[in-house]
Amino acid sequence: MRTAVIVIGDLGRSPRMQYHAVSLAAAGSDVDLIGLEGAAVMPAVVSNPRIHVHRMHDRSFANRAKGGVRRFVFSSAARGIGQAMRLFRILMAIPKPDVILVQNPPAFPALSIAWLASRLRGARFVIDWHNLSHTIAAVKVGERHRAVKAIARSERRWAKRASAHLTVSTALAEWLAREYKVKAAVAYDRPGDAFVRPSSADANALWEKISKEANLGSTRLPMVVCPTSWTPDEDFDLLLEALERAERQLSRANPTAGPQLIVFLTGRGALRESFEARAARRNFKAILVRTIWLEPAEYPALVGMADLGLCLHQSSSGLDLPMKLADLRGAGVPAAVYDYAPVIGEVMTTGQEGVSFRDPGDLANLLVAVATRSLAPDAPLGRSRAWLTQHPAERWSAQWEAAARPVLLPERG
């Protein structure tokens, strides 16, 4: 049994597809894991002899957003054509796969090339729907742009040609059934085994390393961790406004206290540099704001050290779920989640997995509560802490066996 797992994105920043690869290998399949160059993959992938990683060079289009919509569309198309050629060469060169599993988004060029390779090599073609490509494109160029309409038609076409489908939410599965007339199995994101509360020794060692690099001192402040991809579907304006409000509240209450809270924003992406400049101009004193990049082995420990996890995700479709919620759940860390759509209710109940917020004022109050450690047991964050302690998270392996394995390996399901 052999499976090709494809993500047209930075492979190291695609945890769900890496988890698929690890689970498939554990089920006895050899796996060709294919994606773009970039961040290191997780240790569980590196150490698995059944997983063969193929990184594709990705031509840089750092300035493609400059020059307007037409330039963006043209450069994106040129980039996609290059990716298509490289992906096709890999899929025709690797040993014959029995299944080709491809992440969507992006639909172009992943779906067409994966389908073509599946026909030429006699493999099943399975799509794992994380969101909708055409709604993501609409955020950048507008929903009426002809490129968005073309992507939507393409998504529908390849959806109907796939052998099977997985999705990250029930809402997305229902949309696919209604709009594309295809049936998808829901495989929720769940935390990997690395996402747990770190030991005191591991937490202290990581803090010592981070504090030296960021000049934070030896005292560990109350900590908020915000995992981010630095993409337009995350509201950094809302965060900056909330930080300003929290700064004013903390400074008024204790003007000589110095830093009372640290907020880490992890990851890399296009909007990071702009955010760093805007945050620096505000000259926060009661709150330390730091952007940080961690290796795969260190990131789970930082998440587990947090007093609060922050999710700024605003879905382009209203149908997807951010995987960072699963990571926080695994580490037993309450999440503060922007309430962008009813789909959030599939994985979070206020006072259990975390709390939701809708505006900067709501978020500022949460930041102040963490900074002052005023988390009353009967308040939502206090209830969440207690609930998470009493209800250990379901892990990815269990969810995969129940929901994804029957789709990907039906003869063994």
Residue 144 pLDDT: 81
pTM (predicted TM-score): 0.90
Question: From CA 24, how far away is CA 400, in angstroms rounded?
Answer: 9
Mean pLDDT of 236-256: 93
Domain tally, the chain: 2
Residue 108 pLDDT: 82
Q: pLDDT > 90: what percent of the chain?
A: 74
Shared-domain flag, residues 284 and 400: no
Residue 62 pLDDT: 44
Question: What does the DSSP 8-state code read for residue 384?
Answer: H
Domain housing 263:
200-390
Mean pLDDT over all residues of the chain? 91
Measured between its terminal Cα atoms, the distance across the chain in Å is 14
Angle between helical axes of 110-121 and 69-93 (0-180°, round to 10): 20
Question: Which uninterrupted H or E stretch holds 263?
Answer: strand 261-266
- The answer to whether residue 413 is domain-embedded is no
Shared-domain flag, residues 205 and 318: yes
Shared-domain flag, residues 182 and 228: no
Shared-domain flag, residues 317 and 217: yes
Shared-domain flag, residues 170 and 300: no
Residue with tokens 């924003």: 265
Mark out the alpha helices in 162-309 (DSSP H runs).
170-175, 200-214, 236-253, 272-282, 299-305
- The answer to whether residue 115 is domain-embedded is yes
Question: What CATH number has the domain bearing residue 320?
Answer: 3.40.50.2000
Residue 116 pLDDT: 95
- The answer to whether residue 52 is domain-embedded is yes
Shared-domain flag, residues 55 and 69: yes
Q: pLDDT > 70: what percent of the chain?
A: 94
Higher pLDDT, 162 or 140: 162
Give the CA distances from residue 384 to residues 159, 226, 311, 312, 381, in Å, rounded to whole numbers and listed in that order: 39, 18, 16, 19, 5
- pLDDT of 8 > 80? The answer is yes
Shared-domain flag, residues 107 and 166: yes
Question: Where residue 220 falls among pLDDT bands split at 50, 70, 90?
Answer: confident
Shared-domain flag, residues 224 and 354: yes
Residue 323 pLDDT: 92
Shared-domain flag, residues 178 and 245: no
Residue 376 pLDDT: 66
Question: Where residue 61 falls among pLDDT bands split at 50, 70, 90?
Answer: very low
Summarize pLDDT for 308-346 with one digit per residue, the tens: 999 999 889 999 999 999 999 999 999 999 999 999 999
Shared-domain flag, residues 250 and 333: yes
